[in-house]
Amino acid sequence: MATLYELTEEYRQLLEMMEDDTVDPEVLQDTLEGVDGEIEAKADNCAKLIRELNGVTSVINEEIERLKARKDVISNNADRVKKYLEKAMIDTGKRKFKTALFGFNIQKNPASVVIDQEDKIPEEYWIKQDPKLDKALLKKWLKDNPEDFAHLEQSEGLRIR
């Protein structure tokens, strides 16, 4: 695989291991820790690995979206053909028949509920919902109002520029 950055042989092998989903994460960690070099050189090479892996992830996500769109088109086409066949059977009056390969029949579907006046439905038919915490709103409140039931916590994370 051609990479954007020039990687040392050790890091190129590590990249190949990371792209292989059969490699044990502990083996990856041990290999990463075993690579020689000063922290600055390791940091540069790690940043190159991160960028490369993120690039691969982006390509995979784009392919997933493309395949989802293709799946939807194919599924919609199958539905259209089924509706066409159903209409043709109804129009010709042939609601049930068999061929050498398949059996066809038009049958009634199970009854479905149609809501006409939602406000008149008795309470027993409603599903009770658990309250859900709005953490964004709570965070705003906690910035100016310290409380004993919750607090703000500052964490750290690596940023690569």
Q: Is the pLDDT of residue 3 over 90?
A: no
The CA-based dihedral angle spanning residues 44, 49, 52, 53, taken in that order and rounded to the nearest 10 degrees: -150
Task: List the one residue out of 113, 13, 48, 144 whose CA is nearest residue 152.
Answer: 144
pLDDT digits (tens, 9 = 90+) for 24-60: 888 888 888 887 778 888 888 889 889 999 999 999 9
What's the mean pLDDT when you consider all of the chain?
A: 91
Task: Give ∠ CA 76-78-79 in degrees, rounded to 5.
Answer: 65
Segments in the chain forming alpha helices (H)? 9-19, 25-34, 39-92, 135-144
Average pLDDT over residues 72-79: 98
Q: Is the pLDDT of residue 122 over 50?
A: yes
Q: Which band of pLDDT confidence, cut at 50, 70 and 90, is reported for residue 1?
A: very low
At 2 the pLDDT is: 43
Task: List the one residue out of 85, 15, 94, 1 whose CA is nearest residue 48.
Answer: 15
**Residue pair 89/83 in contact by the 8 Å Cβ criterion:** no
What percent of the chain clears pLDDT 90, i.e. is strictly above it?
Answer: 66
At 35 the pLDDT is: 78
Burial class (CB in 10 A: 0-12, 13-18, 19+), 48: buried
Q: Is the pLDDT of residue 4 over 70?
A: no
pLDDT digits (tens, 9 = 90+) for 124-145: 999 999 999 999 999 999 999 9
Q: Is the pLDDT of residue 102 over 90?
A: yes
Average pLDDT over residues 59-63: 98
Domain ranges of the chain: 9-117
